[in-house]
Amino acid sequence: MTPMTPLSECSGIVPQIQNIVSTVNLACRLDLKKIALHAKNAEYNPKRFAAVIMRIREPRTTALIFSSGKMVCTGAKSEEQSRLAARKYARVVQKLGFPARFLDFKIQNMVGSCDVRFSIRLEGLVLTHQQFSSYEPELFPGLIYRMVKPRIVLLIFVSGKVVLTGKF
């Protein structure tokens, strides 16, 4: 049974983006200790994790900066914001004295959520779409639907709330 896209998209339900994860390559080796000690908003605990965790307030995001020069930026609510935040982090690193560049900015993952406003019978869904869905009430109350095209994973709950996540 192939899932069909409805002909009219005017259901009025629009998913809200909750989180975007992106990566960028700063293309230079970084001294994490120096960054951690000279930046106000950075934490670095080498015993626990080998990266500096930096946060900025606007857009409200968190970045993991590794000594190889690669950086992961999470928490933005739109693609433009994610890019802007990544650039801000790169600027901070630049100001701390490293020749940081901005190569290969790529959005890795986006998470969105929405509410369809009606209850969903998950057992029925798992019966009809069994090759895509996985529903284990013992483990997780939601149904995990892995859509093939577009490549998205949806967490569908009985109350009608749906969480969508996907990576390119």
Partner 1 sequence: MTGRVCRGCGGTDIELDAARGDAVCTGCGSVLEDNIIVSEVQFVENSGGGSSAVGQFVSLDGAGKTPTLGGGFHVNLGKESRAQTLQNGRRHIHHLGSQLQLNQHCLDTAFNFFKMAVSKHLTRGRKMAHVIAACLYLVCRTEGTPHMLLDLSDLLQVNVYVLGKTFLLLARELCINAPAIDPCLYIPRFAHLLEFGEKNHEVSMTALRLLQRMKRDWMHTGRRPSGLCGAALLVAARMHDFRRTVKEVISVVKVCESTLRKRLTEFEDTPTSQLTIDEFMKIDLEEECDPPSYTAGQRKLRMKQLEQVLSKKLEEVEGEISSYQDAIEIELENSRPKAKGALANLSKDGSVEDTASSLLGEEDVEDEELEAAASHMNQDFYRELLGGGSGSAEAAENPEGGGRALALESLLGPLPTAASLGISDSIRECISAPGRDPEDTSGDGELDLSGIDDLEIDRYILNESEARVKAELWMRENAEYLQEQREKEARIAKEKELGIYKEHKPKKSCKRREPIQASTAGEAIEKMLEQKKISSKINYSVLRDLNSKGGGSPQREGTRPAERASSRRLSRRRTPASRNGADPGACVGKRLRPLVSTQTAKKAAMGEAVLPSPPALGAELVRPAAVLVESGPVSYHPEEDADEEEADEEDGEPCVSALQMLGGNDYGCDGDDDEGY
135 lines the binding site for partner 1 (CB under 8 A): yes
155 lines the binding site for partner 1 (CB under 8 A): no
CB-CB neighbours of 93 under 10 Å: 23
66 lines the binding site for partner 1 (CB under 8 A): no
CB-CB neighbours of 60 under 10 Å: 12
Identify which of residues 51 and 83 has a Cβ nearer to partner 1 in the complex. Answer: 83
One-letter identity of residue 1: M
160 lines the binding site for partner 1 (CB under 8 A): yes
SS3 state of residue 90? helix
Q: Which residues pair with 56 in a beta bridge?
A: 61
Binding test (CB under 8 A) with partner 1, winner from 19, 157, 163, 165: 157
**Closest approach of Cβ 20 to partner 1, in Å?**
10
Reported residue count of the chain is: 168
DSSP single-letter state for residue 160: S
137 lines the binding site for partner 1 (CB under 8 A): yes
Binding test (CB under 8 A) with partner 1, winner from 44, 67, 145, 153: 44
Element (H, E) at 113: strand 103-115
Identify which of residues 4 and 14 has a Cβ nearer to partner 1 in the complex. Answer: 14
Distance CA 35, CA 143 (A): 43
158 lines the binding site for partner 1 (CB under 8 A): yes
83 lines the binding site for partner 1 (CB under 8 A): yes
49 lines the binding site for partner 1 (CB under 8 A): no
